[in-house]
Amino acid sequence: MSGFDLTPPDPAQRAALEAGLDEAERRVLLAHGTEAPFCGVFLDNKREGVYCCRLCGLPLFRSRAKFDSGTGWPSFFAPYAPEHIRYVRDTSHGMVRTEEVCARCGSHLGHVFPDGPPPTFERHCINSVSLSFVDAGQPLPDPLGRGGAEAGVAD
Protein backbone atom coordinates (compact mmCIF):
# COMPACT_ATOMS: atom_id res chain seq x y z
CA MET A 1 0.00 0.00 0.00
CA SER A 2 1.23 3.45 -0.89
CA GLY A 3 -0.08 5.26 2.21
CA PHE A 4 -2.14 7.75 0.16
CA ASP A 5 -5.76 8.37 1.12
CA LEU A 6 -7.89 7.09 -1.78
CA THR A 7 -11.19 8.36 -0.34
CA PRO A 8 -12.97 10.32 -3.11
CA PRO A 9 -13.31 14.07 -2.69
CA ASP A 10 -16.59 15.12 -1.07
CA PRO A 11 -19.04 17.05 -3.30
CA ALA A 12 -17.77 20.48 -2.18
CA GLN A 13 -14.12 19.49 -2.72
CA ARG A 14 -14.95 18.01 -6.13
CA ALA A 15 -16.80 21.17 -7.20
CA ALA A 16 -13.82 23.30 -6.16
CA LEU A 17 -11.37 21.05 -8.06
CA GLU A 18 -13.53 20.99 -11.19
CA ALA A 19 -13.91 24.78 -11.12
CA GLY A 20 -10.16 25.05 -11.86
CA LEU A 21 -10.33 23.00 -15.09
CA ASP A 22 -10.23 24.52 -18.55
CA GLU A 23 -12.41 23.25 -21.43
CA ALA A 24 -9.88 20.69 -22.72
CA GLU A 25 -9.28 19.32 -19.22
CA ARG A 26 -13.03 19.00 -18.63
CA ARG A 27 -13.51 17.16 -21.94
CA VAL A 28 -10.81 14.60 -21.16
CA LEU A 29 -10.96 14.22 -17.37
CA LEU A 30 -14.73 14.42 -16.88
CA ALA A 31 -16.18 13.34 -20.26
CA HIS A 32 -13.63 10.59 -21.11
CA GLY A 33 -12.27 12.43 -24.14
CA THR A 34 -8.85 12.12 -25.76
CA GLU A 35 -6.40 14.84 -26.67
CA ALA A 36 -4.91 14.85 -30.15
CA PRO A 37 -1.71 12.78 -30.52
CA PHE A 38 1.73 14.42 -30.55
CA CYS A 39 0.52 17.66 -28.95
CA GLY A 40 0.47 16.97 -25.19
CA VAL A 41 2.76 19.02 -22.99
CA PHE A 42 4.27 15.92 -21.32
CA LEU A 43 4.95 13.85 -24.44
CA ASP A 44 8.62 14.88 -24.59
CA ASN A 45 9.13 15.70 -20.90
CA LYS A 46 12.47 14.19 -19.79
CA ARG A 47 12.63 15.67 -16.27
CA GLU A 48 12.83 13.44 -13.18
CA GLY A 49 9.77 13.49 -10.98
CA VAL A 50 6.21 12.27 -10.56
CA TYR A 51 3.13 12.60 -12.76
CA CYS A 52 -0.02 13.21 -10.71
CA CYS A 53 -3.75 13.33 -11.40
CA ARG A 54 -4.56 16.79 -12.75
CA LEU A 55 -7.80 16.88 -10.75
CA CYS A 56 -7.03 15.46 -7.29
CA GLY A 57 -3.21 15.35 -7.17
CA LEU A 58 -2.83 11.60 -6.56
CA PRO A 59 0.60 10.35 -7.78
CA LEU A 60 0.03 8.14 -10.83
CA PHE A 61 3.38 7.50 -12.56
CA ARG A 62 7.09 8.03 -11.90
CA SER A 63 9.24 9.50 -14.64
CA ARG A 64 11.54 6.47 -14.50
CA ALA A 65 8.61 4.34 -15.80
CA LYS A 66 8.09 6.63 -18.83
CA PHE A 67 9.13 5.48 -22.30
CA ASP A 68 8.74 6.64 -25.89
CA SER A 69 6.06 4.43 -27.41
CA GLY A 70 5.82 6.40 -30.65
CA THR A 71 2.03 6.61 -30.22
CA GLY A 72 1.83 10.37 -29.61
CA TRP A 73 0.87 10.21 -25.93
CA PRO A 74 3.02 9.92 -22.81
CA SER A 75 3.46 6.22 -22.07
CA PHE A 76 4.50 4.42 -18.90
CA PHE A 77 5.24 0.76 -18.18
CA ALA A 78 4.05 0.82 -14.54
CA PRO A 79 1.92 2.99 -12.25
CA TYR A 80 3.23 4.78 -9.16
CA ALA A 81 1.25 2.28 -7.08
CA PRO A 82 -1.16 -0.34 -8.47
CA GLU A 83 -3.97 0.85 -6.22
CA HIS A 84 -3.78 4.40 -7.64
CA ILE A 85 -5.29 3.32 -10.97
CA ARG A 86 -8.71 1.77 -11.52
CA TYR A 87 -9.38 -0.19 -14.70
CA VAL A 88 -12.68 -0.08 -16.58
CA ARG A 89 -13.77 -2.12 -19.59
CA ASP A 90 -14.28 0.31 -22.48
CA THR A 91 -16.33 -0.85 -25.47
CA SER A 92 -16.62 2.54 -27.16
CA HIS A 93 -15.36 3.11 -30.70
CA GLY A 94 -16.26 -0.43 -31.82
CA MET A 95 -13.44 -2.14 -29.89
CA VAL A 96 -12.68 -3.49 -26.44
CA ARG A 97 -10.04 -1.57 -24.49
CA THR A 98 -9.09 -1.10 -20.86
CA GLU A 99 -9.67 2.46 -19.70
CA GLU A 100 -7.64 3.86 -16.82
CA VAL A 101 -9.15 6.25 -14.31
CA CYS A 102 -7.77 7.81 -11.15
CA ALA A 103 -8.65 5.49 -8.26
CA ARG A 104 -9.42 8.45 -5.99
CA CYS A 105 -11.47 10.87 -8.12
CA GLY A 106 -12.43 8.76 -11.14
CA SER A 107 -10.95 11.15 -13.70
CA HIS A 108 -10.25 9.65 -17.12
CA LEU A 109 -6.52 9.17 -17.74
CA GLY A 110 -6.20 7.05 -20.87
CA HIS A 111 -5.93 3.34 -21.67
CA VAL A 112 -3.56 0.47 -20.92
CA PHE A 113 -2.40 -2.03 -23.54
CA PRO A 114 -0.41 -5.30 -23.30
CA ASP A 115 2.31 -4.20 -25.74
CA GLY A 116 4.76 -2.29 -23.55
CA PRO A 117 8.38 -2.98 -22.64
CA PRO A 118 9.73 -5.27 -19.91
CA PRO A 119 9.38 -5.78 -17.04
CA THR A 120 5.57 -5.34 -17.13
CA PHE A 121 4.90 -5.45 -20.88
CA GLU A 122 2.23 -2.80 -20.23
CA ARG A 123 1.77 0.49 -22.09
CA HIS A 124 -0.19 2.99 -20.04
CA CYS A 125 -1.09 5.49 -22.77
CA ILE A 126 -2.07 8.67 -20.90
CA ASN A 127 -3.42 12.06 -21.96
CA SER A 128 -1.05 14.88 -20.93
CA VAL A 129 -4.07 17.00 -20.02
CA SER A 130 -4.98 14.38 -17.36
CA LEU A 131 -1.66 14.93 -15.60
CA SER A 132 0.29 17.44 -13.59
CA PHE A 133 4.04 17.06 -13.05
CA VAL A 134 6.13 17.53 -9.93
CA ASP A 135 9.91 17.76 -10.28
CA ALA A 136 11.96 15.37 -8.13
CA GLY A 137 12.54 16.80 -4.67
CA GLN A 138 9.52 19.12 -4.80
CA PRO A 139 6.42 18.72 -2.59
CA LEU A 140 3.66 16.56 -3.98
CA PRO A 141 0.32 18.31 -4.54
CA ASP A 142 -2.23 17.98 -1.75
CA PRO A 143 -5.27 19.89 -3.03
CA LEU A 144 -7.56 17.99 -0.65
CA GLY A 145 -5.46 18.91 2.42
CA ARG A 146 -4.97 15.30 3.53
CA GLY A 147 -1.35 15.45 4.71
CA GLY A 148 0.28 12.13 5.55
CA ALA A 149 2.03 10.51 2.58
CA GLU A 150 0.59 13.31 0.48
CA ALA A 151 2.76 15.82 2.26
CA GLY A 152 5.81 14.01 0.84
CA VAL A 153 8.11 14.96 -1.99
CA ALA A 154 8.37 13.65 -5.54
CA ASP A 155 10.99 10.95 -5.98
pLDDT, average across residues 131-138:
97
Give pLDDT, residue 26: 97
Give pLDDT, residue 94: 83
pLDDT digits (tens, 9 = 90+) for 136-150: 999 999 999 988 888
Pairwise CA distance, residues 117 & 113, whole Å: 11
Pairwise CA distance, residues 106 & 30, whole Å: 8
pLDDT digits (tens, 9 = 90+) for 35-93: 999 999 999 999 999 999 999 999 999 999 999 999 999 999 999 999 999 999 988 87
* DSSP at 88: E
Strand pairing category for 108-113 and 123-126: antiparallel
* Length of the chain (residues): 155
pLDDT, average across residues 14-38:
96
Please, which pLDDT band fits residue 32 given cuts at 50, 70 and 90?
A: very high
| Domains of the chain: residue spans and CATH | 11-136 (2.170.150.20)
Mean pLDDT (the chain) is: 95
Which is catalytic among the residues 53, 56, 102, 125?
Answer: 125
**Is 53 known to be catalytic?**
no
Q: CA end-to-end span of the chain, whole Å?
A: 17
Pairwise CA distance, residues 131 & 110, whole Å: 11
